[in-house]
C-alpha cells in the first residue's frame, strides 16, 4: 500500500518537506499538493491517508483523525502570513464587507473571534480568495475596504513585495497572542484512524526527520522561498524562523483554548485530542 500524504504548497511548509524534496530523507509515500481547504476535503472523503490540515478540520471531525505528535504550524506572536488588511481601523468595520479567504477555515474562524471579542464589531464576511495577481489589481478598487489574506500572498503584501493600498494591517497571530497570551496553532498533521498504524508511524518519522533537517537549513529554504515569491531573502528567513513546527505544551494550550472558544461560539462540537500511538 502506498500512503497518500497531503502537502500545502505555501512556503511555510518548506521546513517540513524540504529534506524530502531533496532526497535527504527517504519518504515512501505519494505527496499530494493542495490548499488547506482542498486537503481538508480530501481527508474528509478518505482520499488521503495523512495530511497537514487546518486546525479547525481536526476539531470538526476529531473522531475520524489522529494527531501526529510534535508536528504543527504555529506561532507565538506574529505569524506574518495570516493578515487582515484594511482601509479603516478594525473597530470601524461594522456592517462593512470583509473579504475572507476560502482557503483556510481556521483563519476565518480566528478572524471572527477577534471581531467579536477584541474589536467588538460585526462586519459582513464575503468569501473571496486573494492570489498575488488578484492583490495587484485590488489597489485600484476602493470598494475593497478590508480583506483577510493568507499564505504566500499575505507575506508578499505585508513585506511590500506587492504594493499595499491598505493603511491598517493586523497580524492574526499577534492579535491572538495579545488577546489570550497564548501561542496559536494554524495547522496540524493528522492520520486517518483507519490507516495502518505502522505505515502512519513511518510517515510521521520521516516528516519529523525532514522537519529537523529543515530547521537546520533555514537559510537554504529562505533562498528557495525568495525565488518562489520575490520576497527578500532576509524577510523569508525571518518569516520561517518565526514559525514553530512542533506541538509543545504551550502550543497545545493555545490549540485547546481556540477549540474551547469555538465550542462556546457554536462553531464546532465538543471534542478531544487523540494522538497517533507510538509503536
pTM of the model as a whole = 0.93
* C-beta separation of 68 from 207 below 8 A: yes
Q: Judge whether residue 138 has pLDDT over 70.
A: no
Which one has a higher pLDDT value, 161 or 31? 31
Task: Check pLDDT > 70 for residue 271.
Answer: yes
List the grid coordinates of 17.
Answer: 518537506
CA dist., res. 36 & res. 31, Å (int): 14
pLDDT tens figures, 5-41:
999 999 999 999 999 999 999 999 999 999 888 999 9
Q: What is the pLDDT of residue 128?
A: 75
Averaged pLDDT, 187-211: 97
Give the pLDDT of residue 163. 86
**Report for 124-128, 152-156, 252-256: range of highest mean pLDDT:** 252-256
**Average pLDDT of 170-187?**
98
- Higher pLDDT: 139 or 76? It is 76
pLDDT reported for residue 132: 46
Residues 79-96 have pLDDT tens digits of 999 999 999 999 999 999
Mean pLDDT of the chain: 93
Quick one: 222 exposed, middle or buried, by C-beta within 10 A (0-12, 13-18, 19+)? buried
Residue 154: pLDDT band by 50, 70, 90 thresholds? very high
The C-alpha cell that represents 240 in the structure block: 520561517
Ranking 70-84, 122-136, 202-216 by mean pLDDT, the lowest is: 122-136
φ, ψ dihedrals at 80, nearest 5°: 75, -5
User: 212-225: per-residue pLDDT in tens?
Assistant: 999 999 999 999 99
User: Which domains occur in the chain, in start order?
Assistant: 3-74+184-264 (3.40.190.10), 82-180 (3.40.190.10)
What is the structure's pLDDT at 141? 61
Task: Write down the pLDDT at residue 129.
Answer: 58
Amino acid at each position: 500500500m502506498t500512503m497518500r500524504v497531503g502537502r500545502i504548497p505555501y512556503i511555510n511548509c518548506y521546513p517540513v518537506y524540504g529534506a524530502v524534496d531533496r532526497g535527504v530523507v527517504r519518504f515512501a509515500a505519494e505527496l499530494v499538493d493542495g490548499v488547506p481547504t482542498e486537503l481538508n476535503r480530501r481527508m474528509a472523503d478518505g482520499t488521503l491517508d495523512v495530511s497537514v490540515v487546518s486546525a479547525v478540520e481536526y476539531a470538526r471531525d476529531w473522531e475520524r483523525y489522529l494527531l501526529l505528535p510534535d508536528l504543527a504550524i504555529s506561532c507565538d506572536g506574529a505569524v506574518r502570513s495570516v493578515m487582515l488588511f484594511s482601509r479603516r481601523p478594525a473597530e470601524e468595520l461594522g456592517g462593512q464587507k470583509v473579504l475572507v479567504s476560502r482557503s483556510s477555515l481556521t483563519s476565518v474562524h480566528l478572524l471572527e473571534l477577534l471581531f467579536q471579542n477584541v474589536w467588538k464589531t460585526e462586519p459582513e464576511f464575503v468569501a473571496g480568495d486573494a492570489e498575488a495577481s488578484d492583490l495587484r489589481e485590488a489597489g485600484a478598487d476602493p470598494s475593497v475596504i478590508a480583506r483577510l489574506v493568507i499564505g504566500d500572498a499575505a507575506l508578499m503584501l505585508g513585506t511590500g513585495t506587492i504594493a499595499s493600498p491598505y493603511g491598517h494591517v493586523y497580524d492574526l497571530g499577534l492579535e491572538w497572542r495579545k488577546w489570550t497570551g497564548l501561542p496559536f496553532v494554524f495547522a496540524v498533521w493528522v492520520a486517518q484512524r483507519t490507516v495502518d498504524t505502522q505505515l502512519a508511524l513511518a510517515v510521521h518519522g520521516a516528516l519529523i526527520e525532514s522537519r529537523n533537517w529543515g530547521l537546520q537549513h533555514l537559510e537554504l529554504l529562505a533562498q528557495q522561498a525568495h525565488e518562489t515569491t520575490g520576497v527578500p531573502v532576509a524577510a523569508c528567513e525571518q518569516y520561517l524562523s518565526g514559525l514553530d513546527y512542533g506541538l509543545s505544551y504551550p502550543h497545545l494550550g493555545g490549540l485547546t483554548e481556540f477549540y474551547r472558544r469555538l465550542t462556546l461560539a457554536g462553531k464546532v462540537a465538543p471534542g478531544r485530542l487523540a494522538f497517533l500511538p507510538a509503536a
